[in-house]
Amino acid sequence: MWFKIGDTTIHLLKLLGVFILMASLLKVGESSYGIFLTASKAESAQYNPDQIRSIFGWSIGGSSPDTKVFEFQDYVGVMMGPLANFFFWLGVSTLGLMLYQSGKIIFPVEEVEQKISEHHRNLIRSAVESHKKKR
């Protein structure tokens, strides 16, 4: 699909790919900042457990309410969200790049479909030949 503005023609799929790529790269940057921010908050919570409620909005109650320790599993728990966000936007940026390079990339699905169609063509040819032999 092409879009014409004045004398310039633009490939719409490439244009969509550029917009998705640029927006997702901005979100990758934002989510990487979120990773560093959350790690900094977790480090502060580890050194001063009394501030956990003000930093994260929740408190840790261990085996007893008196033991408030920011442990490794708490660190992993607060880091999961920012890391998942980062990898999601990294994947979206990869899809945007694939859309932008759509004229140059050959998707494996096409090759699989081609092999399947050749296989079906051979099956049909052998069925027609065997039908001709029976007559």
Same-domain check for residues 79 and 114: no
**Closest by CA position to 48, among listed 76, 22, 70:** 70
Same-domain check for residues 22 and 87: yes
| Residue 8 backbone dihedrals phi, psi, to 5 degrees | -100, 130
Same-domain check for residues 65 and 130: no
In tens digits, the chain (135 residues) has pLDDT values of: 666 666 666 677 788 889 999 999 999 999 999 999 999 999 988 888 778 878 887 766 544 455 577 788 888 889 999 999 999 999 999 999 988 887 665 555 544 455 567 777 777 788 888 877 776
Same-domain check for residues 65 and 111: no
Same-domain check for residues 50 and 112: no
d(CA 38, CA 81): 10
Q: Which pTM does this prediction carry?
A: 0.64
Same-domain check for residues 33 and 68: yes
User: In total, how many domains does the chain have?
Assistant: 2
Domain, as residue range, for 9: 2-104
